[in-house]
A and B are shown apart, each in its own frame.
Chain A
């Protein structure tokens, strides 16, 4: 029967050409949307590796304050902040913490392999506690690490798996540029660029505020006790202003930063999805109308098939089958174009698996869609009385 339907639809390809074209373009649209959604979904399903709740980000810009004084004041501010009962932990680090829209990455290399990773510089040992980072292996930084000539770093699990599959990375060295770094600890994950980003690897390095050879950091990450009054923000800013005279400061809550980060990605995505959903709905309604009309044109054929021994249900199945065959024609052309994306590597960021998943999803959706469009018209076709249909021409 399937062979028969293919033959029939192939011979009717001229009449059904527009429907095939419509299915082809609908497939491309669905492929686009599902690639995008799956890409973000895949990214979002990888662990963040930190907790943003009750974390505040205090940015300080020392403006024209001399460096030595700045370091001194920053240390003073940290000490003061840590003395507040509302503050659980406070950490000094680089400006590229989670959701800050500031990012910095570099290549790590080992044994001929290269891997892009976020670099986060911390200037004390509290960052792990502020962000709720979990260790898998080895240890987090201590005060000596800033002055160690082994250049100690802490890496995420996926860096370990990439460079040292099946073994522990602790104690091993990797290259950054032409200098060597020693891995002292491995953490579950850390994705400071946010859940929608595809860069999962990160590593931390430790410098010291009192070490004038390394740049002084100005961003303080603060873990607040749950239930702290939001007005405490003002007190923190007051403290920062009193200690850092002439500084410019900015305090943001990480959940707010996250919200605006997500908004920026989700709103265009939602608009895109809505527009595409409209296109598909439009096509669905059109297919429905055209199928309905086509069936009205084929009364005598239906009558004939019934006379030759087709039951109502086989007529029903035939019409569903026909549209699936048509869809297959459109999908074959569509898939030909879609597979070019992973084959030619047109969009590097999106991994091949995501493209394949997107193709499968779109194929499934197209079949579902055409079947849904064909259900009612096919039911109508099956209900046509054979005796009447045969004498209608």
Chain B
């Protein structure tokens, strides 16, 4: 589903050159739930951004759903993100001035040919999936952290992406809420077959996934299958 080949990412300022990713080769097959761990500043987020086409690698190629990304034209990248990728963030990134329903609808606004009624129908379905049907008219600041993250997941789902990229989705949540969120993600992966790449600091969460890749200083240091995945 996602293939990274020889990815290198260098941030250049006037005085310092920082290497964020170095010689990364990673293949994420369709339907896999992959977690990425590593200390702060190891390049995890850069890696996720590169997969999500938010960041352009200095060298190397990204392949999404069998399609090698050769163009870096903003419009086309935006189109691919919209069609194929859903994002979940640690700090939810909900728009405070929009209701839950409107927040969930957002990705569909950037897709042409979907009517307003269709948008709201699909948003309601997505919210049902994360168990928030009762909160459609609420505003983000009226919700708990776990509820907010569920809204964010619904938003990631609504476009029916093949890939979900989650950047520390449970990072801001207590263990109970974190567990809840994790279960939703696992469900998505198993039932819908969505490919998920999740960056996390939480070993416990990582162990619930299929495969764990560790990063250190911009390099991939380990890659292991987690065997009791099926039993969770």
Residues of A within 8 A of B (CB): 1, 3-4, 7-8, 11-12, 300-301, 303-314, 385-387, 390-391, 393
What residues of chain A lie closer than 8 Å to B17, measured between beta carbons? none
Asked if residues B98 and A309 are in contact (CB atoms below 8 Å), the reply is no
B155 on interface, CB distance cutoff 8 Å: yes
Asked if residues A311 and B98 are in contact (CB atoms below 8 Å), the reply is no
Asked if residues B109 and A4 are in contact (CB atoms below 8 Å), the reply is yes
Q: Is the interface of A mostly helix, strand, loop or mixed?
A: helix
User: Interface 1/0s, chain B 98-135, versus A by CB < 8 A?
Assistant: 10001001110111000010000000000000000000
B97 on interface, CB distance cutoff 8 Å: yes
What residues of chain B lie closer than 8 Å to A313, measured between beta carbons? 74-75
User: Interface 1/0s, chain B 55-75, versus A by CB < 8 A?
Assistant: 100000000000000000011
Q: How far is the CA of A337 from the CA of B52 in the complex (A)?
A: 51
Asked if residues B78 and A309 are in contact (CB atoms below 8 Å), the reply is yes
User: Interface 1/0s, chain B 74-97, versus A by CB < 8 A?
Assistant: 110111011100010101010101
Tell me the nearest residue of chain A to B155, going by C-beta: A308
Asked if residues A311 and B97 are in contact (CB atoms below 8 Å), the reply is no
Further contacts, 18 of them, CB under 8 A, given A309-B110, A390-B89: A3-B116, A4-B102, A4-B109, A7-B98, A11-B97, A12-B97, A301-B95, A304-B87, A304-B95, A305-B106, A307-B52, A308-B87, A308-B107, A308-B110, A309-B82, A311-B77, A385-B55, A387-B46
A-B CB contact pairs (8 Å), 21 listed: A4-B102, A7-B102, A8-B98, A12-B97, A300-B91, A301-B93, A301-B95, A307-B52, A307-B54, A307-B81, A308-B110, A309-B81, A309-B110, A309-B159, A312-B74, A313-B75, A387-B46, A387-B49, A387-B55, A390-B54, A393-B91
Q: How far is the CA of A12 from the CA of B102 in the complex (A)?
A: 14
Q: How far is the CA of A4 from the CA of B109 in the complex (A)?
A: 8
Asked if residues B93 and A300 are in contact (CB atoms below 8 Å), the reply is yes
Asked if residues B75 and A311 are in contact (CB atoms below 8 Å), the reply is yes
Asked if residues A311 and B111 are in contact (CB atoms below 8 Å), the reply is no
Asked if residues B95 and A309 are in contact (CB atoms below 8 Å), the reply is no
Are A308 and B82 CB-contacts (below 8 A) given A314-B110, A387-B55, A390-B54?
yes
Tell me the nearest residue of chain A to B49, going by C-beta: A387
Given B78, B79, B105, which contacts A306 in the complex, CB threshold below 8 Å? B78
Q: How far is the CA of A246 from the CA of B105 in the complex (A)?
A: 93
Q: Which 6 residue pairs of A and B lie closest in terms of their CB atoms, listed nearest first?
A: A309-B82, A311-B78, A11-B97, A309-B110, A387-B49, A304-B93
Asked if residues A309 and B75 are in contact (CB atoms below 8 Å), the reply is no
What residues of chain B lie closer than 8 Å to A310, measured between beta carbons? 78, 110
Are A309 and B102 CB-contacts (below 8 A) given A301-B95, A393-B91?
no
Q: How far is the CA of A206 from the CA of B53 in the complex (A)?
A: 89
What residues of chain B lie closer than 8 Å to A300, measured between beta carbons? 91, 93
B136 on interface, CB distance cutoff 8 Å: no
Asked if residues A308 and B98 are in contact (CB atoms below 8 Å), the reply is no
Q: How far is the CA of A311 from the CA of B112 in the complex (A)?
A: 13
What residues of chain B lie closer than 8 Å to A307, measured between beta carbons? 52, 54, 81, 87
B45 on interface, CB distance cutoff 8 Å: yes
User: Interface 1/0s, chain B 135-158, versus A by CB < 8 A?
Assistant: 000000000000000000001000
Tell me the nearest residue of chain A to B105, going by C-beta: A4
Are A386 and B93 CB-contacts (below 8 A) given A308-B87, A309-B159, A310-B110?
no
The smallest beta-carbon distance between B52 and chain A, in angstroms, is: 7
What residues of chain A lie closer than 8 Å to B159, measured between beta carbons? 309
What residues of chain A lie closer than 8 Å to B111, measured between beta carbons? 309
What residues of chain B lie closer than 8 Å to A7, measured between beta carbons? 98, 102
User: Which residue of A1, A12, A305 has the most chain B CB atoms within 10 A of its CB atom?
Assistant: A305
